[in-house]
């Protein structure tokens, strides 16, 4: 391969990599909304000053959370939460000698749905693991204040099932 061809190939590679690395406005928005959710859960655990381990999986069959959004949330919430996006629940759950299933590292396990709404207010349902047979759904209302999203009041809790 000639020097000119190598330079062209390098330029194309850099351009493609830069295009792939660009985070869309909807991804930035989703990351900021999810950050608000992480901060709410961490604030609920005020007895422990260490970052709260939060295991996250996508909510809904066939859904996923974009890797750019995952990276944004891990970084932005690092001061209050050790956020870990998981592929399987085995990564988050442990069974003790009495066959009791709990979340590893005294953390929490949640499922996040996509951020679909536009505007400065968002409603987001989040499923939280309670025990091996029970989850509860929390409906959060969030509002944008500058670049941050904060939870308005307490979430509505739906019957655990």
Alpha helices, DSSP H, located in the chain: 3-21, 25-44, 67-76
Residue 15 inside a domain? The answer is no
Positive/negative CA dihedral, 143, 145, 149, 153: negative
| Number of domains making up the chain | 1
Residue 122 inside a domain? The answer is yes
Residue 56 inside a domain? The answer is yes
3-state secondary structure of 141: strand
Nearest to 104 by CA among 125, 133, 84, 79: 84
**pTM confidence score:** 0.82
Reported as type and span, the H/E element at residue 134 is: strand 134-145
Residue 2 inside a domain? The answer is no
Residue 7 inside a domain? The answer is no
pLDDT at position 24 is 84
Residue 5 inside a domain? The answer is no
Cα(84)–Cα(131) distance, integer angstroms: 19
Residue 51 inside a domain? The answer is yes
Residue 18 inside a domain? The answer is no
pLDDT at position 13 is 37
**132 pLDDT band (50/70/90 cuts)?**
confident
pLDDT at 116 over 80: yes
Instruction: State which residues form the domain around 130.
Output: 24-158
């Amino acid at each position: 391969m000639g020097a000119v061809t190598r330079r062209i190939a390098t330029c194309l590679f850099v351009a493609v990599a830069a295009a792939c690395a660009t985070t869309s406005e909807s991804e930035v928005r989703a990351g900021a909304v999810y950050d608000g959710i992480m901060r709410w859960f961490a604030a609920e655990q005020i007895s422990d000053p260490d970052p709260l381990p939060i295991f996250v999986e996508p909510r809904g069959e066939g859904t996923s959370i974009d890797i750019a959004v995952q990276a944004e949330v891990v970084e932005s919430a690092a001061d209050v939460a050790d956020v870990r996006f998981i592929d399987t629940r085995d990564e988050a759950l442990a069974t003790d000698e009495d066959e009791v299933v709990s979340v590893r590292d005294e953390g929490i396990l949640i499922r996040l749905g996509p951020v679909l709404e536009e505007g400065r207010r968002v409603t987001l349902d989040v499923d939280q693991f309670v025990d091996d047979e029970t989850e509860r759904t929390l409906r959060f209302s969030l509002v944008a204040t500058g670049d941050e999203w904060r939870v308005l009041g307490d979430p509505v809790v739906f019957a655990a099932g």
